């Protein structure tokens, strides 16, 4: 093990993920350099170039950093994806932070922090984004009024819908509809 590798392990440096893997003789786990597990003793560490090399030597994948799943982005990203899926399937109804947190078996405050860190948005911002994306599709139908669209995507008033839509899309729903119709005519 080089000093650079040890420093990467100590600092949980994501830049070294995929460049090497380390295994612990004591726990028989193999980890990525960015693994959030507690610090280990360097005398118990073995370095491998690939996860497969470590697995062949009898080491099992760490459940915190999942070195056997290269596409895995971490527990926070996984939790954020699960929260997104919940919102995507419930965007028209009313739900609370406690509803989502209970469904995902996590603390609400923790969910808020992790979701914001993983997506750069709050749960409410994402919820409104999903509703406005669906509203954009419905605005393509000139037969539907703005009020009907607002209610279909889960808003309780068309004025609130218009404010949120303008904040997210940049124009009002009626201006969006006019722009869409103009595009069709061209």
The 10s digit of each residue's pLDDT in 112-169 is 999 998 899 999 999 999 999 999 999 988 899 999 999 999 999 999 999 999 999 9
CB 139 within 8 A of CB 149: yes
User: CA 43 to CA 29: how far, in whole Å?
Assistant: 15
Give the bridge partners for 17, in sequence order.
20
* From 31, 35, 62, 132, the catalytic residue: 31
Single pTM value for the model: 0.68
DSSP helix/strand/coil, 39? coil
- Between 24-33, 133-142, 147-156, 177-186, the lowest mean confidence (pLDDT) is in 177-186
35 is catalytic: no
User: CA 84 to CA 103: how far, in whole Å?
Assistant: 12
Which of residues 70 and 172 earns the better pLDDT score?
A: 172
Q: Which two tokens stand for residue 17?
A: 């993920």
CB 48 within 8 A of CB 22: yes
Residues 16-38, mean pLDDT to the nearest whole number:
87
Specify the pLDDT at position 67: 84
The 10s digit of each residue's pLDDT in 91-115 is 998 899 999 999 999 999 999 999 9
Q: Which domains does the chain have, with CATH numbers?
A: 3-61 (3.40.10.10), 75-185 (1.10.10.60)
Binned at pLDDT 50, 70 and 90, residue 184 comes out as low
Q: Which two tokens stand for residue 185?
A: 């005519």
DSSP helix/strand/coil, 34? coil
User: CA 5 to CA 2: how far, in whole Å?
Assistant: 5
């Amino acid at each position: 093990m080089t000093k650079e590798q040890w420093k990467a392990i100590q600092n949980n440096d994501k830049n070294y993920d995929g460049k090497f893997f380390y295994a612990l003789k004591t726990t028989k786990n193999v980890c990525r350099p960015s693994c959030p597990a507690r610090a280990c003793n360097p005398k118990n560490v073995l370095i491998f170039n690939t996860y497969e090399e470590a697995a062949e030597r009898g080491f099992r994948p760490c459940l915190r950093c999942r070195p056997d799943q290269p596409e895995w982005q971490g527990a926070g990203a996984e939790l954020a994806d699960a929260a997104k899926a919940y919102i995507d399937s419930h965007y028209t109804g009313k739900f609370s932070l406690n509803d989502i947190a209970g469904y995902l078996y996590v603390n609400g405050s923790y969910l808020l922090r992790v979701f914001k860190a993983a997506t750069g948005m709050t749960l409410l911002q994402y919820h409104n984004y999903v509703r406005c994306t669906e509203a954009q599709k419905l605005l393509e139908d000139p037969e539907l009024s703005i009020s009907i669209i607002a209610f279909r995507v889960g808003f309780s008033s068309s004025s609130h819908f218009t404010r949120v839509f303008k904040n997210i899309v940049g124009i009002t729903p009626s201006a969006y509809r006019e722009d869409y119709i103009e595009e069709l005519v061209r």
